Homo-oligomer: A and B are copies of this chain.
Amino acid sequence: MGRAVVDELKGRPGAFDVVRGTVPGIKDLPVACKKLIEEEGCAVVVACGYVGGAPIDQECANVADHALQQVQLMTNRHVLGVFVYETEARDEREMAWLCDRRAREHAVNAWRLLFKPQELTAMAGTGQRQGYADAGPIRVDLREYRPRRE
Contacts and interface: CB of A to CB of B under 8 A. Distances in A.
Given A28-B78, A31-B76, A69 B69 contact: no
A93 B140 contact: yes
19 contacts: A2-B121, A22-B123, A23-B78, A24-B80, A27-B68, A27-B69, A31-B72, A31-B73, A32-B78, A34-B72, A34-B76, A66-B67, A70-B70, A94-B145, A97-B142, A98-B147, A132-B147, A132-B149, A133-B150
A113 to B, nearest CB: 8
Interface residues of A, number: 77
A60 B124 CA distance: 18
A3 B117 CA distance: 17
Contact of A120 (B22, B27, B109): B22
How many copies the complex holds: the figure is: 5
Majority SS of interface residues in chain A?
helix
Given A2-B125, A24-B109, A27-B65, 14 more contacts: A24-B113, A30-B69, A31-B78, A32-B78, A50-B125, A63-B69, A67-B69, A70-B70, A94-B145, A94-B148, A96-B138, A96-B142, A98-B147, A100-B142
